[in-house]
Amino acid sequence: MGRGDGILGNRDVQGSRRTSITGRRKWLKTRERWLVVLGVVLHAVYMLSIFDIYFKSPIVHGMDPVTPRFHAPAKRLVLLVADGLRADKFFEPDSEGNFRAPFLRSVIKEQGRWGVSHARPPTESRPGHVSIIAGFYEDPSAVTKGWKANPVEFDSVFNRSRHTFAFGSPDIVPIFCGALPHSTWKTYPHEFEDFATDASFLDEWSFHQFESLFNRSKEDPKLKEMLLQNNIVIFLHLLGCDSNGHAHKPFSSIYLNNVKVVDNIAARVYNLLEDYFKDNRTSYIFTADHGMSDKGSHGDGHPSNTDTPLVAWGAGVKYPRPISSGNHSDCGFRFVDEHMHDAPTPTEWGLRGIERVDVNQADIAPLMSTLLGLPCPVNSVGSLPLDYINMNEAAEVEAVLANTKQILNQFLRKSQIKQSNSLSFKPFKPLSHYSSILDQIEDLISGKNYEAAMKLAENLQNLALQGLHYFQTYDWLMLMSVISLGYIGWMIYLVIHVLQSYTSLPVELLKKEQAAHQKDGTRKVQLCGYLLMGVISILLLLERSPPLYHAYTTMTVFLWTQIFSEYQFIKALWKQLHGRRVYYTARILATCAVSVFILEFLVNSFTERKLYTLYFLVVGAIASLYLFKSIPWRSGIPIFVCLACWFLSVFTLMPAEIPENTYLVIGSGALIIIIGIAARWLDMHAEGNKYWLGLCNHEMKKPRFPGLFHLQALLVGLSSVMVPLSTSHRTQKQELLALHQFINSSVAGFSMVLPLFSANSLLSRLTSIFLGFAPTFLLLSIGYEAVFYGALSLVLMAWILFENTLLYVSKVKRLSGSFRNLEDNVLELDDRYLQLFDVRIPLIFMVLFNVAFFGTGNFASIASFEISSVYRFITIFSPFLMAALLIFKLFIPFMLVICAFSAITKMNRLPRLGCYFLVIIFSDVMTIHFFFLVRNTGSWMEIGNSISHFGIMSAQVVFVLLLFALTNVYTKDIHISPVNPSSQKAM
């Protein structure tokens, strides 16, 4: 059919009629390669849009620091950060009723102030330390850009100090001190971060370096003079709980051991400094970068990860104050995770009589700056917590005003940058008269009306923070509109491609609708599109927009240009549908309604996994009843389909945080072998069952390796044995043997290659794939997810049996219409045209693909480095390698689903790429829905979840294409037997 090609250019109408079928097939393959490339690039670029919209870096340069106008209460400050120490485990007693941090508790009761510091997701080490030391919440994308160096340059309290001394982790200290000339720092070697190394050893190493510094100063006059100067910062990074040592002992004992260690070090640091300086001019701050779940994971916005302890004492810090009705009330302020200000303290903490002052994590930076009399970091968004500062009223007002001016300077700089780059600038009106407000504050301070000045300064600070948010989200409407139109255009263009290339639309009707000058019309449309693209690019260049803005708009205009280039086809299609019977239109509308319902079900399943339980209970019953009426019950297929679906329905009721259970992993290994034996027996003895003819091909020659099945079963059993052996070394505080490491890696790698040598009948090959990936999955499993592997495989087999039964029942009569107009068929010889009823296959695939994703949790578990599973392959701490292993584990169920999907498309003689394009269309319906569900209000946990859902769906579309190519290696040579001897003639 002659038409303008949206990617490769126009084809001559008369020439296309003379083109051979072979040539047209070659043209179609070339076009689809470009479609696949375009799809991957489009989703990769559009997925980056969430970083421009929601995760755009808050850092701007060009502001001058605000010099404070008050006397610094402290000469030096000590910052102790206990990595991974959560608040409740720090404050509450252990199982024996003893408090874990006796020294710091005595500080809370006698010397200083305390509270809970609330962190923002992602609750990882790097963004947590940036928030504490630099005072702003680094955009989450920075976590992936590097740990050892700053992906962006930012100001910090360390930068403003006269000299900084830092000791601790090689992943944290260099971020702040690596390029800082006025710093002295030292880290322990990366080799020390072995899983067999106890955290207390690393903390003692850090303290020893700190102690040796002061011992050397007694003999080094220059060093002593440096230590006696003003504005000195001392930073110790300790392991409060985020330690590699927790890999070899129960996690319940981590807090008891590590908190005691850091409390002891805090006491020794305090005593050493007080004995050395003897001037009472040292401030101390103890806190943590993030918390930790009961399983040892962190990264998300759960209170166990966001709530961290804060204890401050020493010079410039207020003393404890008893709580009373007058000084303890909810002031209405909400923190980033929706916690109340001065929330009620749990009784078990034993601190209900002492006033508690909660802060946002970024508030610690202006607190440290104020204690030292330094300018706040220029990109800080923290608010000075006055309840910690012990200064007179005039100094307090000056401190708050300096904090306000620093935030206001950021607002003014962002406003200036946006105005200079915008052709149509819209200012933030509430701060249009900020200078008069500043003058009013200065007048009130001159008149010593400190209370009114304080209130006005705090109001101005809140407005400045709102202004920062305004310019942070300035381009949201434009970007969201462009990207939404881009997704819609992509889906429409794919629908047009599928209709043109994979359906049996009457070619003659489309030929009649070809205009005499269609080629010229198409060129005019494309010329207009390219002109519009050029005009938009020029406007973006004038506004100095980021390069990705050009990519977003270019792709959107390009897609819609291709759609309008197909106006002749769209016009012909509309006339054809308009002339059909009402029944045909009703079928299309019903199919669309069912598809939308299932896709909406999948959208809601992202927040409620239990929906899958209901789904599989209902589908299992309905499918078995349908099969029971279609084929005799003696085949066992209806019962098997029902039981398989009901078995899988159990897993989405289980907790997302998987409890460790080695015996369950061993049992699942036995289950996998039993399933493999059953499939092997059916493959060898089912030739008498006519319902299995399409799955078992006994006419094929014998496999090259008759013992392949036994070898694969042996590897599954060996991997099951290696799981408890590897785990026993960890629980006994022993390093994993190199032999065990070699066996685990060899079994995992070798087993995944074996399916390539199996027989190429459908059941034989799928059984081999199932057994081939099982050892790797078992070695990376810690609990019930190993059983899920077998349950998912049973459901995939049930799906294949269901589709095979439909083929037999239809006896190809219903499919014969798919092979009309064979002389114009551009598909492969063994493929047929798509029909409306075939939409069920990509829809079922979408459900099973998402079940593989959410069946045992969700993608957020990647942030939870499950040491107990990756420890079987690696013993040296390597976050990116560990994450890669966990991601590969998550991909294994996806690969099983895609292998089953490929087999079903072969069995139904459907064009694989045509079905995959339908999958992409359905996935993008969900993607654009999640794009509109993204939240910019509420807690950061809610905001982060909504954005992650959009990112997951965008990535899923790309992963489907990549996994399709990967699994094609295993499934491309699968041979499907005809349903019955006459089927070949019928086709």
Q: Express each pLDDT in 146-170 by its tens digit.
A: 444 555 578 999 999 999 999 998 8
Position 681 pLDDT exceeds 90? no
What's the pLDDT score for residue 911?
85
Higher pLDDT pick, 771 / 939 = 771
Q: How confident is the model at residue 2 (pLDDT cuts 50, 70, 90)?
A: very low
What's the pLDDT score for residue 577?
75
Q: How confident is the model at residue 842 (pLDDT cuts 50, 70, 90)?
A: very high
Higher pLDDT pick, 844 / 242 = 844
What's the pLDDT score for residue 587?
87
Higher pLDDT pick, 841 / 572 = 841
What's the pLDDT score for residue 140?
56
Higher pLDDT pick, 324 / 662 = 662
Position 202 pLDDT exceeds 90? no
What's the pLDDT score for residue 579?
67
Kindly report each contact of residues 413-420 with a partner whose C-beta sits within 8 Å and lies 24 or more positions away, as own/partner. Answer: 413/60, 413/62, 413/63, 414/60, 414/467, 414/468, 414/471, 414/472, 415/467, 415/471, 417/60, 418/471, 418/474
Q: What distance in Å separates the CA atoms of residue 559 and residue 462, rounded to the nearest whole number?
A: 43
Q: What distance in Å separates the CA atoms of residue 575 and residue 42, rounded to the nearest whole number?
A: 32
Q: Averaged over 785-797, what is the pLDDT? A: 91
Q: Averaged over 13-35, what is the pLDDT? A: 65
Give the burial string for 544-573 (b: 16+ CB within 10 Å, else e).
ebeeebebbbbbbbbbbbbbbbbebbeebb
Q: What distance in Å separates the CA atoms of residue 252 and residue 249, rounded to the nearest whole number?
A: 9
Most confident of 7-11, 370-374, 809-813: 370-374
Judging by beta carbons within 10 Å of its beta carbon (0-12, 13-18, 19+), is residue 655 exposed, middle or buried? exposed
Higher pLDDT pick, 149 / 192 = 192
**Domain extent listing, the chain:** 77-324+353-390, 393-473, 476-579, 580-814+839-972
Token couple for 958: 């790309």
Position 830 pLDDT exceeds 90? no
Q: State what percent of residues in the chain have pLDDT above 90.
A: 37
Judging by beta carbons within 10 Å of its beta carbon (0-12, 13-18, 19+), is residue 731 exposed, middle or buried? middle
Q: Averaged over 872-889, what is the pLDDT? A: 74
Task: Give residue-wise pLDDT tens across range 941-961.
Answer: 666 677 778 878 887 777 787
Q: What distance in Å separates the CA atoms of residue 659 and residue 648, rounded to the nearest whole number?
A: 18
Position 511 pLDDT exceeds 90? no
Position 884 pLDDT exceeds 70? yes
| Residue type, position 565, single letter | S
What's the pLDDT score for residue 209?
93
Position 36 pLDDT exceeds 50? yes
Q: How confident is the model at residue 559 (pLDDT cuts 50, 70, 90)?
A: very high
Q: State what percent of residues in the chain have pLDDT above 70.
A: 80
The residue to which tokens 């794919």 are assigned: 494
Least confident piece of the model among 70-84, 250-264, 340-354: 250-264
Q: Where are the beta strands (DSSP E) in 239-297?
A: 282-287
State pTM to two decimals: 0.72
Task: Give residue-wise pLDDT tens across range 585-601.
Answer: 888 889 999 999 999 99
The residue to which tokens 């420890």 are assigned: 871
CA angle 770, 772, 778 (to 5 degrees): 85
Q: How confident is the model at residue 446 (pLDDT cuts 50, 70, 90)?
A: very high
What's the pLDDT score for residue 942?
66
**Mean of pLDDT over the chain:** 81
Q: How confident is the model at residue 867 (pLDDT cuts 50, 70, 90)?
A: low
Least confident piece of the model among 232-241, 606-615, 752-761, 818-827: 818-827
CATH architecture of the domain formed by 77-324+353-390: 3-Layer(aba) Sandwich (3.40)
